[in-house]
Amino acid sequence: MGFAEQPEPSPALGSDLLRACLPALCLPEMAGLAKPSVTARHRLHHTAQRARSNPRLLDIAAERLHTAADDCVRRGRLLTPPRKPKDGYHQQAVTVVEDLALLSINPAHLAKACALLTTLEQPAVVSSPPSPHLARITAGTDWNSPARLLESNYQHRRAAALTALAGNPHTPRTAVTDTLPALHPLELSWIGRQNRAPDWLQTAAAALAPDDVNEAVLRLLTDDELDRHPDPGAVLQSWLDAPESEGVWSEQEVHHAVLGSRHHTLHHLRQLPAVEVIVWHEPSLALPHLIAQCGTQPEHWHTLLTALDDSPADKPVTFGQLLDNIQSASRAPAGTA
């Protein structure tokens, strides 16, 4: 017995109710509020969200929506980049462009929306160091493909916003194609994979996309790749010197990459948290150095344990500091603290 045919889902709101709500659709009460750069952006977004929830509004209230979108742009100067962008501006600007792609029919505003996308920071698409466990899970999938990496942190939204603008028949095509050279290579590749993107946009993006998109992904090199580098140790040191605030790799990813590399030296290990070096799955990594310092002296092993126990959680003792503490204890006169 086959499955019964499912009825079409009913609209969220009936047409009569939608028409009754039209006076409040575009939130006119927000039109005259202070701080228009903020309130106009919120008004535009809430209006667009209502249209997304009830797509029939795009036909029933088209003129209202177009007028409100124009008013929000002009009053809030939403398409003028700030001199000093604040945190979160990137996502706010992309949201404005997405909303205008849905609501606006103003070619000038839509062209400026394309230009606004070129002022936003480029994504840093990062591939974490290969993990044998993760490799088994993701085998046969595109989980680590550049396109998926781009989407993993919603870094595809700028490309998606431009694709939405291209789908608006009132957006000048030249404004869209002039934006493409400013995109990240992986954003161009992403556009080429979207079935809903216009053919002309896919063709233009494909002409600029690199042949090998993997080259546009930032990643920690494997040992085989480091073998071909003239100074592998210097590369490892550059990873350790890179501040985590740059958002490229986490400290833990860098530490594990250095620990797992056959190119590391004691100089590299001394910079890592002592606990990470000691508990690394290869005992031969830390043990020879600890034996060389502690030998058969119980007090030296006690110094090691004390140093680890006293290490603050926010700033753990490094392997180098641990070795130095043991060495200092071994040189101290008997009976001194």
* Tens-place pLDDT, residues 131-152: 555 555 555 555 556 777 788 7
pLDDT digit string (tens) for 221-232?
788 888 988 899
Segment 15-27 mean pLDDT:
87
Question: What is this structure's pTM?
Answer: 0.66
pLDDT for 78 beyond 70: yes
Average pLDDT over every residue of 195-199? 92
Partners of residue 218 on adjacent β-strands: 126
Q: Which stretch of 41-50, 61-70, 268-277 has the lowest confidence by average pLDDT? A: 268-277
Residue 258: name the closest of 288, 290, 287, 282 by CA. 282
CA distance 18 to 26: 12
Helix axes 62-76, 107-118, angle to 10 degrees: 50
Residue 4: band (very low, low, confident or very high) from pLDDT cuts 50, 70, 90: very low
Q: What's the pLDDT at 334?
A: 52
Q: How confident is the model at residue 125 (pLDDT cuts 50, 70, 90)?
A: low
pLDDT of 245 reads 44
SS (H, E, C) the chain: CCCCCCCCCCCCCCHHHHHHCHHHHCCHHHCCCCCHHHHHHHHHHHHHHHHHHCCCHHHHCHHHHHHHHHHHHHHHCCCCCCCCCCCCHHHHHHHHHHHHHHHCCCHHHHHHHHHHHHCCCCCCCEECCCCHHHHHHHCCCCCCCHHHHHHHCCCCHHHHHHHHHHHCCCCCHHHHHHHHHHCCHHHHHHHHCCCCCCHHHHHHHHHHCCCCHHHHCEECCCHHHHHCCCCHHHHHHHHHHCCHHHCCCCHHHHHHHHHCCCCCCHHHHCCCEHHHHHCCCCCCCCHHHHHHHHCCCHHHHHHHHHHHHCCCCCCCCEHHHHHHHHHHHHHCCCCCC
Contact 190, 156 (CB under 8 A): yes
Q: How far apart are CA 70 and CA 133, in angstroms?
A: 52
Which is higher by pLDDT, 127 or 277? 277
Q: What percent of the chain has pLDDT over 70?
A: 82
